[in-house]
Chain A
Amino acid sequence: SQTIHQWPATLVQPVGSPLSLECTVEGTSNPNLYWYRQAAGRGLQLLFYSVGIGQISSEVPQNLSASRPQDRQFILSSKKLLLSDSGFYLCAWSLGLAGVGTDTQYFGPGTRLTVL
């Protein structure tokens, strides 16, 4: 069966510090991968998605970047965190078969980031 891991679960970082959040998927190959941010009391905002290694699409201009160094690894990064980067970050995967009707997304447990 497939599983998705995110770490760390919680993180407190000072403004201006770097960030690296990691997401890995097990039990599937060539998944589509996604990073979402959920601000307090708000819905989900899609930040990045990837359909393959090294292929990253950015949905909104921001202080963050994403990379996919391996097929089932998705990393969210920042060189200098802002206060507004605080939130709950969710990684998700779906089968990489767009148009076949299999695009249910499966979410990781999330990372709670607090920038002080």
Chain B
Amino acid sequence: AQSVTQPDIHITVSEGASLELRCNYSYGATPYLFWYVQSPGQGLQLLLKYFSGDTLVQGIKGFEAEFKRSQSSFNLRKPSVHWSDAAEYFCAVGPNANAGKSTFGDGTTLTVKP
């Protein structure tokens, strides 16, 4: 069975500082990996995804993530955080070959200090 672990429930960083959100996964084959962002009271928006090829993936809003098969990780990074990045971030792995459903982590809440 596939699973996703986001070890950090809550992270606080200062505006302008760098950010790394951790994601570890368990999957029986080459995974499809996703990062989504959710602003308060809103739906989820895709930041980036990895299916194959280059293990460093660029996404929207200046985010990137690196797939490391040996560590079963797909950590999200941003070199300089903006106050508008405060949100909840979800890592997901999938899909199930029959239905395309992904498994989501429990999320990491990012607070940005001025």
Contacts and interface: CB of A to CB of B under 8 A. Distances in A.
Nearest to A51: B99
A108 B43 contact: yes
Interface residues of A, number: 29
Contacts of B49: 104
Interface of B: 6, 32, 34, 36, 41-46, 49, 51-52, 90, 92, 94-107
Interface of A: 32, 34, 36, 42-44, 46, 49, 51, 57, 88, 90, 92, 94-99, 101, 103-110, 112
- Give the residue among B94, B97, B100 with the most A Cβ atoms within 10 A: B100
Contacts of B96: 98
A49 B99 contact: yes
A4 to B, nearest CB: 8
A97 B46 CA distance: 18
26 contacts: A32-B100, A42-B107, A43-B6, A43-B105, A44-B104, A46-B104, A51-B98, A51-B99, A88-B41, A90-B43, A90-B44, A94-B95, A94-B100, A95-B100, A96-B100, A98-B98, A98-B99, A101-B32, A101-B52, A103-B94, A103-B101, A103-B102, A104-B46, A107-B36, A110-B42, A110-B43
